[in-house]
Chains A and B, each alone.
Chain A
Amino acid sequence: MRSTVPLLVKLLAIAGFGILYIPVIMMMIYSFNRSKLVSVWAGFSTKWYKELWYDDVLLTALYKSLLIGFSSATISTIFGLLIAIAFVRFANFKGRLFLSLVASAPLVMPEAVTGLSMLLLFIAMEVSFGWPSGRGVDTIMIAHATFGMCFAAVVIQTRLRDMDKSLEEAARDLGGRQPFVFLSIILPLILPSIIAAWLLSFTLSFDDLVIASFVSGPGSSTLPIVIFSKIRLGVSPEINAIATLMILAISALIMIGSFLVLRRDGKK
């Protein structure tokens, strides 16, 4: 049975992988095309990368995205950890149903809805309390942290649930108390999932277009916002260049990450 994966299945599977990768690979190849037009290959060139270097708007946006990504990912991870703990380690508590609803809805809510609703809240808050004054990096960060923590919670929850409980029980048997036991035993054990959760939240924040568009203000354009308006204006090979860089960077991170995970699992 193992040997007979039907041919049709194999073909469809390979086609699926192709769909996932071919567009991106082509784009990366063309980032080195001297010509602006895709239809003409005018030779290998890194000029678009050079142009990238001098594009202030793009670079500022990159900086903003990184800043927002780092801060929102950190908040997401912390709160996501709290949510995971609440679900896995606390038996029934008041508000459990509500928390589970409110922590899972952002996962599937369309971004336009989340973005618009958060903007409306910020405006209402501004009118009523005076904060936040205008939209900017802080509002984007809050928005990203909000949906980020739900994703982080899912990632951490799985690992927390599958964790070997006997280690914790041994610690408590030897006299350890909460929260010390949690910090010294459990946290290190689930650390890979916490890192994964941070990376996931960071990626989601860094790549977000729709929500950021709604809750950003003048001067707080993120990288996706800038890229999107550039795309709207027409195909620009500069975008190929930055796309290639981003994809290579993220892929490198992932490969290092999974290599580390594989090594750790292999050692067990």
Chain B
Amino acid sequence: MHSFLQKFGRLLVIWLPLGWLSIFFMLPLVEMVNVSLSEAKRAVPPYNPAFQIGKDGISFQPVVDNYLLIYEYWEDYLWPAVNSVRLAFFSTLYCLLFAYPMAWWIARSNKSLQHILLVLILMPFWTSSLLRMYALIGLLNPNGVINDFLIWAGITVTPIQMMQTDFSIYSGMILTYLPLMILPLYASLVRLDNSVLEAAADLGAKNWDIFRTIILPLSMPGVIAGCLLVFIPAVGEFVIPALLGGPEQLMLGKVIWTEFFRNRDWPVAAAIAIILIAIIIIPIVYARYQDKENIN
């Protein structure tokens, strides 16, 4: 037993997870490409797989109808794609806007306060994002807490429409992704040597100068890591546009869901998913490139 482990232990350690992930992560993606090239039909499952190993052998009958459909109805599909990128982009920006001061404050606090603040940041992260979105609905609804307060305080007479707007999407995104943005920023900022900042001040730099010429450049790796960590999943978000967004906030995650569950058009859903991957592949590759740079 012992020698078995000696000889094969290493291989096991590598190949067990590698095997699992190949089967349950890579293979599904391959199958999804397969289905995206398949013909829809009234059956269970509702498509005829392009590539299948059946009792009669292997057959390969790809069909590009799905992509053509998307191309034809590109307004229905391109627009949500652009919209997804737009909403994800600005969500990332707003997250950065709030996350940077928070990360800075935490990084500059003493050790015990840092611990407490970090736990405070992570606690919402551990609670279901679904429930947090629900809580947000309670705030933003026409008969929700904020409108109640505004009417009671006499600031407005009719409720302000906050749900199903870009604003509600951004609120949801920030609520969901803020901790993800803060952590790499914090990691970057906490390494900043205080004497470097004092040196800059000594040489004539005012606060804004110090931020612009010293702090920002040195924290750039953290900024980039945080932005990628938020932007990439945000593009494919489903729950946030589903619960908080209206028709103007349609995003690709919701489109996939709708095609799949409502229209029962699995091949088109698969095709859209492939397109979604195509959109985020560039940031993903860039993120991996950054990782390598940082390790070096």
Closest to B45 in A: A123
> Given A106-B25, A254-B123, A262-B115, is A206 in contact with B128 using a C-beta cutoff of 8 Å?
yes
Question: By the criterion CB–CB under 8 Å, are B17 and A250 in contact?
Answer: no
Question: By the criterion CB–CB under 8 Å, are B21 and A254 in contact?
Answer: no
State A104–B228 Cα separation when bound (angstroms): 13
Decide if B89 is an interface residue (CB 8 Å cutoff): no
State A149–B18 Cα separation when bound (angstroms): 11
Interface residues of B in 51-95 (CB under 8 A from A): 52-54
> Given A6-B207, A86-B17, A203-B126, is A105 in contact with B284 using a C-beta cutoff of 8 Å?
yes
Interface centre among A83, A105, A113, A250, by most chain B C-beta atoms within 10 angstroms, is A113
State A82–B34 Cα separation when bound (angstroms): 31
Contacts of B40 in A (CB 8 A): none
The smallest C-beta distance from B209 to any residue of chain A, in angstroms, reads 13
Task: Provide the main secondary structure of the chain B interface.
Answer: helix
The smallest C-beta distance from A121 to any residue of chain B, in angstroms, reads 4
The smallest C-beta distance from A173 to any residue of chain B, in angstroms, reads 19
State A114–B253 Cα separation when bound (angstroms): 11
Interface centre among B17, B137, B198, by most chain A C-beta atoms within 10 angstroms, is B17
Interface residues of A in 128-166 (CB under 8 A from B): 128, 142-143, 145-146, 149-150, 153
Question: By the criterion CB–CB under 8 Å, are B134 and A27 in contact?
Answer: yes
State A111–B28 Cα separation when bound (angstroms): 13
The smallest C-beta distance from B172 to any residue of chain A, in angstroms, reads 10
The smallest C-beta distance from B71 to any residue of chain A, in angstroms, reads 20
Question: By the criterion CB–CB under 8 Å, are B14 and A86 in contact?
Answer: yes
Question: By the criterion CB–CB under 8 Å, are A258 and B105 in contact?
Answer: no
Decide if A233 is an interface residue (CB 8 Å cutoff): no
Contacts of B188 in A (CB 8 A): none
Question: By the criterion CB–CB under 8 Å, are A108 and B130 in contact?
Answer: no
Closest to A149 in B: B17
Task: Provide the main secondary structure of the chain A interface.
Answer: helix
Instruction: Number of A interface residues at 8 Å Cβ cutoff, please give it.
Output: 92
Closest to A182 in B: B9
State A79–B20 Cα separation when bound (angstroms): 9
Binary contact track B1-38/A, C-beta < 8 Å → 1, others 0: 00001100110111011101110111111011011000
Closest to A101 in B: B288
Decide if B184 is an interface residue (CB 8 Å cutoff): no
User: Which single member of A6, A15, A103, A206 contacts B98 (CB below 8 Å)?
Assistant: A15
> Given A123-B45, A127-B52, A146-B21, is A38 in contact with B277 using a C-beta cutoff of 8 Å?
no
The smallest C-beta distance from A207 to any residue of chain B, in angstroms, reads 4
User: Which single member of B99, B148, B238, B284 contacts A108 (CB below 8 Å)?
Assistant: B284
Question: By the criterion CB–CB under 8 Å, are A103 and B17 in contact?
Answer: yes
The smallest C-beta distance from A115 to any residue of chain B, in angstroms, reads 9
Question: By the criterion CB–CB under 8 Å, are B98 and A239 in contact?
Answer: no
Interface residues of A in 83-117 (CB under 8 A from B): 83, 85-86, 90, 93, 95, 98-99, 101-106, 108-114, 116-117
Question: By the criterion CB–CB under 8 Å, are B32 and A120 in contact?
Answer: yes
Contacts of A4 in B (CB 8 A): 207
State A214–B53 Cα separation when bound (angstroms): 24
What are 24 A-to-B residue pairs whose CB atoms are below 8 Å? A1-B197, A9-B101, A15-B98, A24-B131, A24-B132, A27-B134, A39-B144, A85-B13, A90-B14, A99-B14, A103-B21, A105-B25, A108-B280, A110-B235, A116-B270, A117-B32, A127-B45, A127-B49, A128-B53, A146-B24, A203-B126, A213-B257, A254-B119, A254-B122
Contacts A23-B135, A86-B13 known; list 4 others, CB within 8 Å: A12-B98, A30-B138, A108-B287, A121-B28
- Across the A-B interface, the 7 shortest Cβ-Cβ residue pairs: A110-B236, A117-B28, A27-B135, A16-B98, A12-B101, A207-B128, A23-B135
